[in-house]
Amino acid sequence: MTISEKLLRIDLPVNLEAVKAAFSIGALVFEGDLPASIFHLQLIGNDIAEWGAEAEVIAVFHTNAGHATLHDSAYDADRNIATGNPYKGLIADLQKRGVQVELCGATAKVHGWGNGDLLPGIKINTDAMARTIQLVQQGFVKITE
């Protein structure tokens, strides 16, 4: 394959002035070893920085992805392992980029998690479905991961 066959031309460039996105993350699906939802949050974060856009990005973890918000000892107890939360650095990086990370209150209740089980800065909402509806009604675009 020649170099010209490998060139990538963007046919539909996007440059937004404002972003209001709500990520609904109910399961961790992977791109290699990285959860796709986190990869996509990083990607839009990079775009927002490049555009200089005003942004509100909220990631709501729920159902089979809620454990990603737990601190090491709570993660280990929930997952029955002793490795600590492998996502904690990725979550912290997203928070530094301005992403608000939330945990579904219904998921927390089912698993017996409390606020003290969470990584720093994680907020618990009433439940993911009500929160997603609220955000959509406030003009956020819902992205399901």
Per-residue pLDDT of 53-102, as tens digits, reads: 999 999 999 999 999 999 999 999 999 999 999 999 999 999 999 999 99
CB neighbours (10 Å) of residue 11?
Answer: 5
Assigned domain for 121 exists: yes
Predicted local distance difference test score (pLDDT) of residue 5: 75
Domain of 58 in residue numbering reads as: 16-144
Assigned domain for 90 exists: yes
Mean pLDDT in residue range 25-45: 96
To the nearest whole percent, how much of the chain has pLDDT over 70? 97
Q: How many domains is the chain built from? A: 1
Mean pLDDT in residue range 99-128: 98
CATH number for the domain harbouring residue 32: 3.40.1260.10
Mean pLDDT taken over the chain: 96
Mean pLDDT in residue range 115-119: 98
To the nearest whole percent, how much of the chain has pLDDT over 90? 94
Q: Are 23 and 143 in contact (CB under 8 A)?
A: yes
Predicted local distance difference test score (pLDDT) of residue 3: 67
50-70 b/e (C-beta count within 10 Å ≥ 16 → b): eeeeebbbbbbbbeebbbbbb
Mean pLDDT in residue range 95-124: 98
Give the model's confidence band at 145: pLDDT under 50 very low, under 70 low, under 90 confident, else very high. Answer: confident
**Helix H or strand E encompassing 142:** strand 141-144
Q: Does residue 6 register a pLDDT over 90? A: no
Assigned domain for 3 exists: no
Assigned domain for 6 exists: no
Predicted local distance difference test score (pLDDT) of residue 1: 59
Distance CA 1, CA 100 (A): 43
Which residue carries 């029955």 as its tokens? 80
Mean pLDDT in residue range 1-29: 91
Assigned domain for 7 exists: no
